Structure 1
Amino acid sequence: MLLKTRFYLPPLREQSVLRNTLIDKLNQSTGGQLVLISAPAGYGKSTLVSQWLHHTPHTFAWLTLDKTHNSPLQFWRYILNALQGIQPTVGVEAKAMIESNRSQSLSDVVISLLNDLDQLSSHSDSTQAVSLVLDDFHLLENKQLISLISLFLDHLPSGIRLVITSREEPSLSLARRRANNQLVEFNIKDLAFNYDESSDFFTHSMALKLAPDTISSLHKGTEGWIAGLQLAALSIQGSHSDLDKNRAEALIKHSSLDRHIEDYLFEEVFSQQAENVQLFLMLTSAPSRFCAGLANALTSNHNSQSLLLTLEQANLFLVPLDNHRTWYRYHDLFRQFLLQRLKQLPLTKQADCHRSAGDWFEQFGYIEEAIEQHIINENWEKSVCLINEVLANIEGLPDASQLTRWTSLLPGALSAPITARLKSASQELAIEIEHQASTPVNEVLIQGATPLTQRESEVLSLVTQGLSNKLIAEKLHISLNTLKVHIRNLYGKIGVESRTQALVKINQHSSE
């Protein structure tokens, strides 16, 4: 017997934030296309489709999936019943084939259904395609079933649109469908609330009167994650209605994550992962960003690149930092959750993790990130050594606030010499700038000299903005060592030997 509630469209929630821009994009999809709405838990995937169907009435069939649908026979029984709910003549032969076991292969059932849908499309007077919605598609794991659904998509009639909501990207030949213009995608960036939607949510959906800067802090801290905003609102309700900005930031930035958010992430995300994945997530949360090489060092594995691609496909709050699938970070709230889980591991395991991260960063030239890890691990000797190395490179000095924070975390006896050296280095830099500003540069930009590469031009642009080497490396997603090579090359091309000379020359050249 089939459960009828699986075919019911979720009711439209009162006072929900209407996603007009996304609904317009859904309206632009056509028959013969796959509409994939893929994002982690709590991004309003089902709510979006429900809003669309309520505000753009047309013929549709809805099926909410669960793990029992991994039986191919059971799945196609539900599909046939869903479609017969809108057109009783569709799938009659296919249903008879299933019930009588006359079919040698389930692909025959799919082909029979496609033939009926094609006939329905050709005889329809409507210009609007029929939508078949499969909600919670990530619960389908049967490879035979996924293959059959891919077959269904390969021959999808022009009058049928397949809409899928999923927490992870399904294995449905998405690259090919993307290239063939058969795929319409909505991802985490599309679904995350912007500031205006967050404000609307707090004011109308949750009936909270919050100051604009408070809303901005909550929006920024949750990165527009709808469930995070809702859980934050639940924590606020019952407390003071005039929650200030500092309390809002504490709610989402405190070392002990709010229990509503923690419980949600544990139940809906973390607990559903295999133990090896859970350990991977905890260990790789130690640094603020990571790549496959660093992940290998942290986990003592050699397959991190493959696992990262799997986690990215599974939408496990993993945020890519470049287009090359090299550097990643976790959604900030999810990282806070993972760091709390990391602290529940044995102290020796935690120490090994931070030491491995610090050593890896140091080996590959990310000195400031290495310092962060060694300070966390209370490896004072290594921390002091690396801080002194940073201080030795006047041009590569990070922000003064960064150095001040490091010295504040060191034991007093170790921080005093560094503070004195920082003061001396700052004075030397000020003298150098004053000297270069008062000394004319004899060399000029040489016409016809070797032109700068695109990367060198990017580096020069950021240098002229006054950014530190660390910030430039982070913006370009390259190591400090690589950045120094680019800086050395462009200095040679424009005929200078220091950052100050470069700034003076650029200013003179632009004023001519």
Structure 2
Amino acid sequence: MTCPMVAETKLIRPRLPAGLIDDPDRLALLDRSQDAPLTLVCAPAGFGKTTLVSQWLEQRQPTHAWLALEARDNEPALFWTGIREALARIDPHFDRRHQGLFQALAQGWEDDPVDSLVNALSDYARTWQAPQRLYLVLDDFHQIHNPLLLNQCQRLFDLAPALLRVVVVSRHEPPLRRARHLARAQALLVGCDQLRFSESQSRRFLHQRLASPVDEARARSLHRQTGGWPAALQLAGQVPAHREAPVNGQSDAPMLSDYLLEEVFGQLDDELQQFLLAMAPLPSFSEALANTVRQAGDSGELIGRMRQHRLLVWHLDGVADGPPWYRMHDLLRDWLLARPQAPEQGRRQRLAAARALADTGLVGDALELYLADQCYDDAERLLPMWLAADVQPVHGDLLQRFPAAFRRQSPALAVVTALFHFFEGQYDQVLASLDHADRLWAGSDQTPESTLVHIGLMLRCPSVRLSGRHQDAATLVRQLEQGLESSLAEDQSQLRRWALYTLGANAFMEAELGQAERYLRAALDDARHWRDERCLLRCLVVLVPALLHRGEVDRAATEYRTLAGWLRDAARDTEAQSLLAYLQGLLALEANDLVNARQQLERAWALGSERLTPLDQLYLLFALFRLALIDHRDAEALAQVARMTSLHRRLDNPWAYNVPAPEALRALVAWRQGDASALVRWSQQPAETEARPRFCVLHESLLRLAGSLLMGQPIDEPLALLQQAAAQGDNRLLLGRLQVLAAQHSWYREEAQGQAVALLAETLDEFVPMGAVRLFLDEGVLLEPILRACVARNQGRTSAQAVLRQGGDAAEAPAPELDSALLSDISSREREVLVLLGSGLTNKALSERLGISQATVKSHLSSIYGKLAVANRTGAVARARALGLVS
């Protein structure tokens, strides 16, 4: 039999496209092929398989033969002739020595072509012309399905001599015994996961391959849509950026549509095509769900065929430890949904899928399908289950998907509306929506669904308190506590843990920190058991500050590290990343790691300034205000207060947060600048206790005590009352601040300095071992004389030394040798600066007091630090006092 000719184009490695990404990591995937007799590069059409192999050969330059296969190569004679011609291109000696090698395929010959090829290659390997490695690339191997030919190929791969390396490029894994090769480390598999582009690779690919520039936001969007599928990425990128529609269908991306039709969908038999169309409405599906939707029992077989062909169907973990689930690539699914289909058949399948999804617990997906088919009554019936499952809305346009008339008459949608208002910080609107739901229930014979009632109660509690109605809040809290004991049974675990979180957050606002921790612990235990990362994160956001306000800084850090480890999936979300960075910033701030605190808090704001709830934003801004105050960045501190004020105006409710009001914060900044009059004026105004939560009232009372102390007024009685209130709620950090204030009050009454030292020593020994050094550092140089007295009198000595070191001065460290000439050279103006430094004035306040520029102040400070051999303000004041330069 005469062997047919082989087209020249089948033997030539494809030319590499212009603008190809030179990615060492992707090329390194194939470097391991040097040690593996068989390499399988398997992925659906358009994943860049052939391009990657060709690029690797171009860069590494190994000796290789290339054969591009097609459907007609299923005939063994054609296949092995192609192999012969490809090998002949490597070395003419090989072709001349083995001219009769493939004649074994002629009719009547009994020789096995594989044995003949293996023997010929082994013989060739012993010649001086042979390379160390010879690569044989079989491109488009998915065209080969002849059982006889596949069996021959398997024998070739099993018996290949050390010289030969076979690279199989295919759209799906061929039916070979690759498991045995993999187990023996004799095969390398490069699949979709290795071939798909990362976000950075997608960005580079778009910049290099597209004619018009693509901005960062569009590059991210295209990467997210395509999942890093190279061909889809390029074709989708051709769509004009101004189009807002998703990249799907004929109208949006004709090139992509043609590609999918010709290269993916068109290659399937009719049965698989119909299966894909039936599954397209489903975000994900299992074998059982597919059978239900199709009303057939062969879905498992069809799924198996899809996986065998490595179509764009991704395997997912089982739901509730059940059977595996699958989902299509987003682009393929979008394209299928745009395909014409019989309307009634499509609707019937979608409604069957919605019912099956709801029964499985995938309520959000079922809700989407009902709304898509305008089945509003069915969608409304799912809302309680959806709210109980998700707690917070994930579909921003959910309300608008229902007709306006339907929304007005639906108590369930009124509760959903309240939920949206809550996350926008519109607390009055929350209460109005819940009142509307109550009226709808009262005007009908419909019994309120218990889930909606409990969610409404959980929304009312914080909304009433944040609206300044504290008496109503207390009543609602009692109702929620009663619900925990009765109607919120264990089978409503999701609602129960959120109710516990709500009570914990409320207790925190009321400065009942011990009770807050108990509620939050119960919620956290349940959230960890059920792996509810959203609830766990929200509990952590309250628990860490609660522990910090109890002075337990080290324990708060430990709790954060432990619980943050459970947030693997949630931490991928931008809002979650922002909240975690906020907590890290708080912990660093309390630990006096100010550089890290600034990095984390600024990262939290950059990530979450638009994604966090207004309440979260406000607390983050307060943390940034504190940091600016500590860093003596007065302008920045006032800017944060302005942001807080602007945010509060947008919320349109009384100041009912866990931080002092803006006027108090501005007065605090002025005090730090050396102007105590603003704080004095504010402290003399009537206290607004009605709208404030108890936490805020207590901390504003501390500032009022400071104002009274500045005026020389007696503070013993209000101090004692505030200490009692702080102790009742286990608010130990506030209690510590009050004890520090009491120590300062006693110190400046010279007859009570011994009492001041004893009180401060007791406070130091209580809080410093817990990591709460910020409590003392916040007082700056005003507290330093008492700290040094503690060291001198050996009362709280170790803790006092730790605080002094954190503040930049080592009390017990031997003073460096000072140049007496330099000391004598300290000018009268520099002595004046030193005196004012002891009052805690900022550079700006110093410049105003002395009538000089801030640049001149910095020049004086630099000179003082050099002459006193210190590094900062605190060290300068301490050294000047020790040397008697200032009193």
Q: How has the CA–CA distance of structure 1 residues 51 and 172 changed in structure 2, closer, same or farther, with 3 Å as cutoff?
A: same
Is the CA contact 1:61–1:83 (under 8 Å) kept in the aligned structure 2?
yes
Alignment-derived partner of residue 306 in structure 1:
301
Choose the corresponding residue for 1:421, options 405, 410, 415: 415
Choose the corresponding residue for 1:173, options 170, 177, 182: 177
2:65 partner SS: strand
Alignment-derived partner of residue 239 in structure 1:
none
Choose the corresponding residue for 2:317, options 318, 322, 343: 322
Alignment-derived partner of residue 283 in structure 2:
288
Distance (whole Å) between structure 1 residues aligned to residue 165 and residue 359 of structure 2: 52
Alignment-derived partner of residue 479 in structure 1:
none
Post-superposition offset of 1:303: 2.3
Q: How has the CA–CA distance of structure 1 residues 101 and 2 changed in structure 2, closer, same or farther, with 3 Å as cutoff?
A: farther
Range 368-377 or range 159-168, more displaced: 368-377
Q: How has the CA–CA distance of structure 1 residues 202 and 386 changed in structure 2, closer, same or farther, with 3 Å as cutoff?
A: closer
Is the CA contact 2:504–2:516 (under 8 Å) kept in the aligned structure 1?
no
2:137 partner SS: strand
Post-superposition offset of 1:412: 2.8
Post-superposition offset of 1:60: 0.6
Distance (whole Å) between structure 1 residues aligned to residue 537 and residue 250 of structure 2: 34
Q: How has the CA–CA distance of structure 1 residues 195 and 444 changed in structure 2, closer, same or farther, with 3 Å as cutoff?
A: closer
Distance (whole Å) between structure 2 residues aligned to residue 280 and residue 135 of structure 1: 29
Is the CA contact 2:248–2:338 (under 8 Å) kept in the aligned structure 1?
no
Is the CA contact 1:103–1:109 (under 8 Å) kept in the aligned structure 2?
no
Q: Whose helix fraction is larger, Structure 1's or Structure 2's?
A: 2
Is the CA contact 2:503–2:516 (under 8 Å) kept in the aligned structure 1?
no
Q: How has the CA–CA distance of structure 1 residues 283 and 291 changed in structure 2, closer, same or farther, with 3 Å as cutoff?
A: same
Alignment-derived partner of residue 484 in structure 1:
none
* The structure with more radius of gyration: 2
Q: Does 1:133 align with 2:137?
A: yes
Q: How many corresponding residue pairs?
A: 450
Alignment-derived partner of residue 464 in structure 1:
536
2:94 partner SS: coil
Distance (whole Å) between structure 1 residues aligned to residue 216 and residue 251 of structure 2: 25
Is the CA contact 1:40–1:167 (under 8 Å) kept in the aligned structure 2?
yes
Choose the corresponding residue for 1:271, options 244, 266, 270: 266
Is the CA contact 1:12–1:50 (under 8 Å) kept in the aligned structure 2?
yes
Distance (whole Å) between structure 1 residues aligned to residue 81 and residue 250 of structure 2: 49
Q: How has the CA–CA distance of structure 1 residues 30 and 233 changed in structure 2, closer, same or farther, with 3 Å as cutoff?
A: same
Q: How has the CA–CA distance of structure 1 residues 234 and 128 changed in structure 2, closer, same or farther, with 3 Å as cutoff?
A: farther
Post-superposition offset of 1:131: 0.4
Alignment-derived partner of residue 375 in structure 1:
371
1:17 partner SS: coil
Choose the corresponding residue for 1:355, options 348, 351, 354: 351
Choose the corresponding residue for 2:401, options 393, 406, 409: 409
Q: Give me the TM-score of the superposition, normalised by structure 2.
A: 0.47
Post-superposition offset of 1:211: 1.7
Is the CA contact 2:27–2:52 (under 8 Å) kept in the aligned structure 1?
yes
Q: Give me the TM-score of the superposition, normalised by structure 1.
A: 0.79
Q: How has the CA–CA distance of structure 1 residues 101 and 17 changed in structure 2, closer, same or farther, with 3 Å as cutoff?
A: farther
Q: How has the CA–CA distance of structure 1 residues 195 and 142 changed in structure 2, closer, same or farther, with 3 Å as cutoff?
A: same
Q: Residue by residue, what CA displacement relative to the aligned partner does 1:82-130 show, whole Å, maximum 9, x if unpaired?
A: 11222443654431322464226xxx11111111222333556877421
Choose the corresponding residue for 1:102, options 105, 109, 112: 109
Post-superposition offset of 1:263: 1.3
Q: Does 1:297 align with 2:292?
A: yes
Is the CA contact 1:351–1:377 (under 8 Å) kept in the aligned structure 2?
yes
Q: Does 1:89 align with 2:84?
A: no
2:153 partner SS: helix
Is the CA contact 1:221–1:249 (under 8 Å) kept in the aligned structure 2?
no
Is the CA contact 1:32–1:160 (under 8 Å) kept in the aligned structure 2?
no
Is the CA contact 1:60–1:130 (under 8 Å) kept in the aligned structure 2?
yes
2:41 partner SS: strand
Distance (whole Å) between structure 2 residues aligned to residue 24 and residue 390 of structure 1: 46
Is the CA contact 1:132–1:162 (under 8 Å) kept in the aligned structure 2?
yes
Q: Which has the higher contact order (CA 8 A, sep 6+)?
A: 1
Distance (whole Å) between structure 2 residues aligned to residue 256 and residue 420 of structure 1: 38
Q: Does 1:364 align with 2:344?
A: no
Post-superposition offset of 1:337: 0.5
Post-superposition offset of 1:24: 1.8
Q: Which amino acid counterpart does residue 364 of structure 2 have in structure 1?
A: E
Q: How has the CA–CA distance of structure 1 residues 208 and 251 changed in structure 2, closer, same or farther, with 3 Å as cutoff?
A: farther
Distance (whole Å) between structure 1 residues aligned to residue 225 and residue 60 of structure 2: 33
1:28 partner SS: helix
Structure 2: gaps of 5 or more residues: 419-433, 435-451, 462-498, 520-524, 540-565, 571-769, 773-887
Distance (whole Å) between structure 2 residues aligned to residue 234 and residue 407 of structure 1: 34
Alignment-derived partner of residue 20 in structure 1:
24
Post-superposition offset of 1:229: 2.1
Distance (whole Å) between structure 1 residues aligned to residue 369 and residue 280 of structure 2: 12
Residue identity (%): 28
Post-superposition offset of 1:177: 1.8
Is the CA contact 1:198–1:224 (under 8 Å) kept in the aligned structure 2?
yes
Distance (whole Å) between structure 1 residues aligned to residue 71 and residue 317 of structure 2: 35
Q: How has the CA–CA distance of structure 1 residues 389 and 189 changed in structure 2, closer, same or farther, with 3 Å as cutoff?
A: closer
Post-superposition offset of 1:340: 1.0
Is the CA contact 1:255–1:336 (under 8 Å) kept in the aligned structure 2?
no
Is the CA contact 1:41–1:269 (under 8 Å) kept in the aligned structure 2?
yes
Alignment-derived partner of residue 488 in structure 1:
none
What is the CA RMSD across the aligned residues, in angstroms?
3.2
1:208 partner SS: coil
Q: How has the CA–CA distance of structure 1 residues 17 and 444 changed in structure 2, closer, same or farther, with 3 Å as cutoff?
A: same
Distance (whole Å) between structure 1 residues aligned to residue 254 and residue 14 of structure 2: 28
Equivalent residues in 2 for 1:45-194, closer than 5 Å? 45-87=49-91, 88-89=93-94, 91-99=98-106, 101-103=108-110, 108-123=112-127, 128-194=132-198
Q: How has the CA–CA distance of structure 1 residues 462 and 398 changed in structure 2, closer, same or farther, with 3 Å as cutoff?
A: closer
Alignment-derived partner of residue 495 in structure 1:
none
Choose the corresponding residue for 1:399, options 384, 392, 396: 392
Alignment-derived partner of residue 200 in structure 2:
196
Q: How has the CA–CA distance of structure 1 residues 286 and 248 changed in structure 2, closer, same or farther, with 3 Å as cutoff?
A: same
Is the CA contact 1:31–1:129 (under 8 Å) kept in the aligned structure 2?
no
Q: Which amino acid counterpart does residue 283 of structure 1 have in structure 2?
A: A
Equivalent residues in 2 for 1:206-285, closer than 5 Å? 206-236=210-240, 243=241, 247=242, 250=245, 252=247, 257-285=252-280
Range 12-21 or range 182-191, more displaced: 12-21
Choose the corresponding residue for 2:503, options 435, 443, 447: 435
Post-superposition offset of 1:153: 0.8
Distance (whole Å) between structure 1 residues aligned to residue 264 and residue 182 of structure 2: 28
Is the CA contact 2:504–2:518 (under 8 Å) kept in the aligned structure 1?
no
Alignment-derived partner of residue 331 in structure 2:
333
Post-superposition offset of 1:20: 2.1
Q: How has the CA–CA distance of structure 1 residues 164 and 368 changed in structure 2, closer, same or farther, with 3 Å as cutoff?
A: same
1:29 partner SS: helix
Is the CA contact 1:167–1:314 (under 8 Å) kept in the aligned structure 2?
yes
Distance (whole Å) between structure 1 residues aligned to residue 44 and residue 515 of structure 2: 56
Q: How has the CA–CA distance of structure 1 residues 398 and 376 changed in structure 2, closer, same or farther, with 3 Å as cutoff?
A: farther
Is the CA contact 1:6–1:63 (under 8 Å) kept in the aligned structure 2?
yes
